[in-house]
Structure 1
Amino acid sequence: MYFLGEAAIFLVAAVLAVPVSKRLGLGSIIGYLAAGVLIGPFGFGFIAEPENILHFAEFGVVLLLFIIGLELQPSRLWVMRRAILGAGGGQMAATTLALGAIGLAFGLALQEAIIVGLALALSSTAFALQILAERGEMTTRQGRTGFAVLLFQDLAVIPILALIPFLTTGLEPVEEIADPAKIVQALGALFVVVVGGRFIVGAAYSAVAAADVPEVLTALALLIVIGTALLMESVGLSMGLGAFLAGVLLADSEFRHQVETDIEPFKALLLGLFFIAVGMSANIDTALEAPVAVIGIALGLMLLKGTILAALGWWFTLGRHGTRTLAIGLSQGGEFAFVIFTVAIAEGALRPAVVDILVVSVTISMALTPLAFLLLDLYEESRSHEKTEDAEEDMAALEEEAPQVIIAGFGRVGQIVGRILKARGIPFVGLEKDPRQVKLVASFGNKSYFGDASRVDLLRAAGADKAAVFVLAVGNMEASLKIAATVRQAFPKLEIYARAINREHAYRLMDLGVRLIERETFRGSLHLARSVLRGLGLPDRAAELTVDTFRQHDEHLLATHYEIKDDFEKRRQLTRKAADELAELIQKDIAGKDR
């Protein structure tokens, strides 16, 4: 019952803290750490001894390393070798040396400076990738470079963990390294895992899969991870190294996706538990006693890593925005720093007092990353506004071409419209508020201009007073409505063709007098439905008739329901009634055609 009580405390803390952290844009890791601080001995004291939980939860890290190995097919590593070794190796080496030197200058012992330098050189893979993905940077050059750096860091964790036992304060580990028997045992274990493991694991999975018992496959996956981890530990190597090698062995296996599916829930839960345990172990009293040191370390870490990453960005010619994105995105400390610190304390290679300050500092650096990106966006927006006059001058030069079309929003929809117009030789001007999008489309040969299409002066400079058509392709509803209102008031003769993200958006555009509205998913859904009907065996004419009848009926509803758009209950009732009418109408049309 005591164990269940503690489990309930962990679950409640995670369920409350993690969603709040995600909503604030800080990521799940910060939520887990905050939950641990709150329930730990330095918080409300619900859990008095986090050490036992930490030892158990470390298995989550082992599973994480297994998953990393599982996702790294040798062929993929070979294709990315230059970016991984160049950007990743350069960042790791430069940051470790710089941080190690700073650590020595501040009084750390040599082995402590090495471990601290290696640990703090690592960024948060989960944190950085999530932020880059949310900002749409993953497919850009800076996104790919960042991924290569993170991948190298993930690979570096394995030898770092294997190195820690040999960096203890005494001389005993050095003597163990020189012991030929220890070396032979370690090499023998590696040989068994790398060479024999592929055949053993493949045969075991084939046999168990033939039995068709899903839970036994899950048990086998856990057995492979635990077995290789214990084998590595028995010869003095890292458990994580064994798990990683086991994952690599299965990376090209036909069972790879099944294994990943089986392991993922255990990995996610235990890794979350690990971060909670780290939060519980963080000595907040120490941090409160030295707040200047903690914040100084966090800011200094981000500044140092950011500078080194910026130099890499310049070397790889990522451009100003790409360089800034890379520098900020990977400037924080990472979750593997907690892993390394935990192992280093257990091996006696780091003092707990040093780790207490560093754990809190790394956590703060993670929390500051979204804020740093917010400041970057504000800075780049201010710089873009400084260039607005230049953009207006460029667009003013287009007056000679007399653009027939103005496109506001040069994202997915606007680009397609622009490409079609370009193919027909119809002059147009594309306006885009996001400077990153302007640069991105330019790299593909599609020119657009930075500018806020809700500004009358910018629209006039773009030639809106001479154009025949205004395409409103902005995806954000409020921004779209603001632009529509501006265009309708300043250029009443300009015909607006608008993109609507849903029915509500369409109705609000209609309130502004816009009548030529295309719901963004409507046509695509009709085409998809037509294909589904054909795939089910309906003749082409029957499928076409059904979809066309639905289209006409729905467009009629859109117009007739406009008068009652604010009466949700009445709209709901009429919509339910209309569904029955539609079914009857389709049946009558089919029957009529059959006759």
Structure 2
Amino acid sequence: MESHIHIPFLREALVFLVAAGLIVPILQRWLSPVLGYFLVGSLIGPYGLGLLAQQYEPVGWFVITDLDGVTALGELGVIFLLFVIGLELSFERLWTMRRLVFGLGSAQILVTGAVIAAIAFAWGNALATAIILGACLALSSTAIVTALLVDGGRLGTSAGRATFSILLMQDLAVVPILFAVSVLGSMAMENAALGFGMALGEAALTVAIIYALGRLMLRPLLHMVARADSRESFVAISVLVAVGTAAVTGYAGLSMALGAFLAGLLIAETEFRHQVKVDIEPFKGLMLGLFFLSVGMGIDWRVVLDQPVLILSSALGLVALKVAINFALCLAWRLPRQRAGEVAIMLGQAGEFGFLVVGLSVTVGLLASDIAQFMLIVVGLTMLATPGLDWLARAAARWLEPTEGLSEDQRDMIDDAISGHVIVAGFGRVGETIAAVLDRQDIRYLAIERDPGLARAAQKAGRPVRLGDAARLDVLRESGLDRASALVITIADEAATEALAREIRRHAPALPIFARARDQGHADRLIDIGASFAVPETVEGSLRLAEVLLRDFGTDEGVIQRRIALERQGEEC
């Protein structure tokens, strides 16, 4: 009589945990975690050691052959990633990004898809096949790019927001693209317009229902679970909200990642956002690792070795083409050169939705299996190159840093789009010191200086400085005061500083105000007026003010002390 109990997928789970807990951390000494999971996946997958499993039985112990099951589980990683990103945003902040999401994002999909489709058609593919190839290759990898931006703390930068805006629009576009594949496959073109309209209507209705029910029910539900004082229950309800909302959008034909993102946005409006983020983080990390593992497992290196020149040139050509188109579009949307270059290169790869579109195209008979396998390998290789593209994007941003001042149109565009930033009122010695610290910590800011010479010199150096009187409330409002996360007053006039602090406190009661003071008595008066923090003038005072500001932004204490020490050493030289 057998006494053992069979647990489904136990061996596969153990192989994955060994990879995630032992192998990938070792590889992280030389490679990024994303690249580590890719390489491990290609090694333990059906096209790696799996090819030897039948000849050498012990090898089969370390191989995962159920690629479909791993991919399905890996999609949970994308769900949790978009859920966490939603927690970082809010509907209000998302609305401020609408110009980039629906404008630049739509243009990127349409222009890139049309160019790739034209090339595929000229290469001898049928029109329907060319359209599908253009649509799926226009998309980029939401999972990998956003993971790199989050890990690098760059999601809140101007380039990070532009990149995420395009990726969000690509997620929204998956629905009409999949519908187009179904229409082209059935050739029911006479009903295409009606079906397309119904698909979009169903998508809009689903999002509206999720939003309405979430605003109505989510906060009371989280309060009820929190009162039970059970962390396990709170983790369970957090996972349920993320996965459940993703499932609803999935059943409605939408992207499951979009549903998870909506769930994160809804929770971001509640007081539980930080606790939910902490609880969900381990799930996100492990499931994302499984997703990257599944992508690596899907690459058949035998095909790559059979046609190395054609495949590698196709992958490089796709990246180069997308980078060129993205760069031109970002410039057309008036992004600064260095930001346009960074965004363009970051989005140079194909994405995980390409696997979905290609798979459906094979099912409906639009793509032959050999073409599909070729495209899947190209998609996988470009995704594999994303960590390298990330490094190249940051290098290009530094190389493209402008040496001349931005045009008035460019400055207006940046000011209109920015939110969650720090306003530095005054760009003299103190203001410039604080701005330098913020720059090095990638904290967005906008400085206002009334001296035309100082403002022009800062603009020529590529600094985000606008000419204007920082002591005037209307000037601050034009610089996004209502969307700012903090105000630093560095102007030298004592009376003007007090008047501005008093007016800002009346206009924006919750806005943190960090002020430069002439002496201790002036600092005390500013605190009484409503300033959050005030320090007497001197360079040491500006460094202390910058230190407090960084701490208020949640920067690691060790990083703060090292940064301030470096700035202090620079002043002593």
Is contact 2:81–2:143 with CA below 8 Å preserved after alignment?
no
In the alignment, is the contact (CA less than 8 A) between 1:61 and 1:339 conserved in 2?
no
Question: Who is 1:13 aligned against?
Answer: 19
CA contact (8 A) 2:345 2:392 kept: no
Aligned to 1:360: 377
Q: Cα gap change, 1:373/1:82 in structure 2, threshold over 3 Å: closer, same or farther? A: closer
1 CA distance for matches of 2:390 and 2:94? 30
- Deviation string 1:282-332 (CA, Å, 9 cap, x unpaired) is 222222222122212211111111111221243245455444333323222
5 Å matches for 1:415-434?
none
Mapped to 2, the partners of 1:208 and 1:66 lie a distance apart of: 19
Contact 2:74–2:294 (Cα < 8 Å) also in 1: yes
- Partner of residue 34 from structure 1, selected from 36, 39, 49: 39
Q: Which of 269, 286, 295 in structure 1 is aligned with 2:312?
A: 295
CA RMSD of aligned residues (A): 5.1
Are 2:49 and 1:44 aligned?
A: yes
Q: Give 3-state SS (helix, strand or coil) of 1:90's partner.
A: helix
Equivalent residue number for residue 223 of structure 1? 240
Tell me the alpha carbon deviations over residues 507-529 of structure 1, each in whole angstroms, 9 at most, x when there is no partner: xxxxxxxxxxxxx9xx979x99x
Equivalent position of 1:507 in the other structure: none
State how 1:32-181 maps to structure 2 within 5 Å.
Answer: 32-45=37-50, 46-125=63-142, 127-128=144-145, 142=159, 144-157=161-174, 159=175, 163=179, 166-167=182-183, 169-170=185-186
Q: What's the counterpart of residue 554 of structure 2? A: none
8 Å contact from structure 2 (residues 80, 284) kept in 1: yes
Q: Which residue of 2 aligns with 1:280?
A: 297
Q: Is the 8 A contact 2:37 2:293 kept in 1?
A: yes
Report the equivalent of 1:269: 286
1:29 partner amino acid: V
Q: Deviations over 1:257-290 (max 9, x none)?
A: 3333333322332232122122212222222222
Matched, 1:201 2:207: no
Q: What is aligned with 2:558? A: none
CA–CA distance in structure 2, aligned partners of residues 263 and 6 of structure 1: 23
| Structure 2 Cα separation of the partners of residues 380 and 230 of structure 1 | 38
Secondary structure, aligned partner of 1:169:
helix
Whether 1:315 aligns to 2:332 is yes
Aligned letter for 1:74? F
| CA-to-aligned-CA distance 1:555-584 (integer Å, 9 cap, x gap) | xxxxxxxxxxxxxxxxxxxxxxxxxxxxxx
**Cα distance in 1, alignment partners of residues 398 and 230 from structure 2:** 57
Question: How many residues are matched?
Answer: 414
CA distance in 2, matches of 1:64, 1:414: 27
Looking at CA atoms only, which structure, 1 or 2, has the larger radius of gyration?
A: 1
Which letter does structure 2 place at the counterpart of 1:303?
Answer: A
Cα distance in 2 for residues equivalent to 1:103 and 1:162: 19
Alignment of structure 1 residues 433-452 onto 2, 5 Å: 439-441=461-463
For residue 43 of structure 1, report the CA deviation from its aligned partner.
0.5
2:76 and 2:287 in contact (8 A); partners too: yes
Question: Which SS does the other structure have where 1:268 is aligned?
Answer: helix
Unaligned runs of 5+ in 1: 385-409, 416-435, 446-519, 532-595
1-side partners of 2:389 and 2:248: how far apart?
A: 43
Specify whether residues 320 and 337 from structure 1 end up closer, same or farther in structure 2 by C-alpha distance, changes over 3 A only: same
- The residue aligned with 1:250 is 267
Unaligned runs of 5+ in 2: 1-6, 51-62, 402-434, 441-457, 468-539, 552-573
CA distance in 1: counterparts of 2:364 and 2:232, whole angstroms: 36
Task: After TM superposition, give the deviation of residue 140 of structure 1 in Å.
Answer: 6.5
Q: Please report how far the alpha carbon of residue 37 of structure 1 lies from its aligned counterpart in structure 2 after TM superposition.
A: 0.8
Using the TM superposition, give the Cα deviation of residue 94 of structure 1 relative to its aligned residue in structure 2, in angstroms.
0.9
Correspondence for 1:430 = none
Determine if contact 1:166/1:174 at 8 Å carries over to the other structure.
no
State the shift of 1:75 in Å. 0.9
For residues 239 and 381 of structure 1, the distance between their equivalents in structure 2, rounded to whole angstroms, comes to 36
Deviation for aligned residue 1:40:
0.8
Change (3 A) 1:268 1:317: same
Match of 1:3 in 2: 9
Identity across the alignment (%): 38
Is the alpha carbon distance of 1:164 and 1:32 closer, same or farther for their aligned partners in structure 2, counting shifts above 3 Å? farther
- Indicate conservation of the 8 Å contact 1:111/1:168, yes or no: yes
In structure 2, relative to structure 1, the CA distance for the partners of 1:290 and 1:219 (3 Å cut) is same
CA positional deviation for 1:44:
0.8
- Partners of 2:202 and 2:144 lie apart in 1 by 38
Aligned residue identity for 1:86: G
Q: Cα deviation per residue 1:82-137 (whole Å; 9 max; x = unaligned)? A: 23333222222211111222233334455543443233222334554676789997
CA distance in 1, matches of 2:196, 2:141: 36
The one-letter code of the counterpart of 2:349 is Q
Contact 1:18 1:30 in 2 (8 A): no
Matched ranges for 1:376-455 at <5 A: 412=437, 439-441=461-463
**Change over 3 Å in CA distance of 1:184–1:167 after alignment to 2:** closer
Q: TM-score, normalised by structure 1?
A: 0.56
Query: Quick one: which amino acid aligns to residue 360 of structure 1?
Result: I
Cα distance, 1:191 vs structure 2: 5.8
**Paired residue secondary structure (1:253):** coil
| C-alpha distance in 2 between matches for 1:414 and 1:229 | 37
Q: 2: distance between equivalents of 1:81 and 1:349? A: 34
Match of 2:49, SS? coil
Deviation at residue 80 of structure 1 after TM alignment: 1.7
Distance change >3 Å, CA 442–CA 413, structure 1 → 2 = closer
C-alpha spacing 1:62/1:298, structure 2 compared with 1 (3 Å): same
* Alpha-carbon distance between aligned partners in 2 of 1:184 and 1:140, rounded to the nearest angstrom: 33
Q: Output the amino acid matched with 1:4.
A: L
Distance 1:337 1:178, change over 3 A: closer
Corresponding residue for residue 327 of structure 1: 344
1:348-389 Cα offsets, whole Å, 9 max, x none, are: 7655533433333234334545656777899999999xxxxx
Question: Secondary structure at 1:222's aligned position in 2?
Answer: helix
Partner residue of 2:409?
A: none
SS at 1:116's partner residue? helix
- Cα–Cα, structure 1 residues 363 and 443, in superposed 2: closer, same or farther, change >3 Å? farther
SS of the aligned residue for 1:331 comes to: coil
- Work out whether residues 329 and 369 of structure 1, in 8 Å CA contact, stay in contact via their aligned partners in 2: yes
> Could you state the TM-score of these two structures normalised by the residue count of structure 2?
0.58
Change (3 A) 1:379 1:28: closer
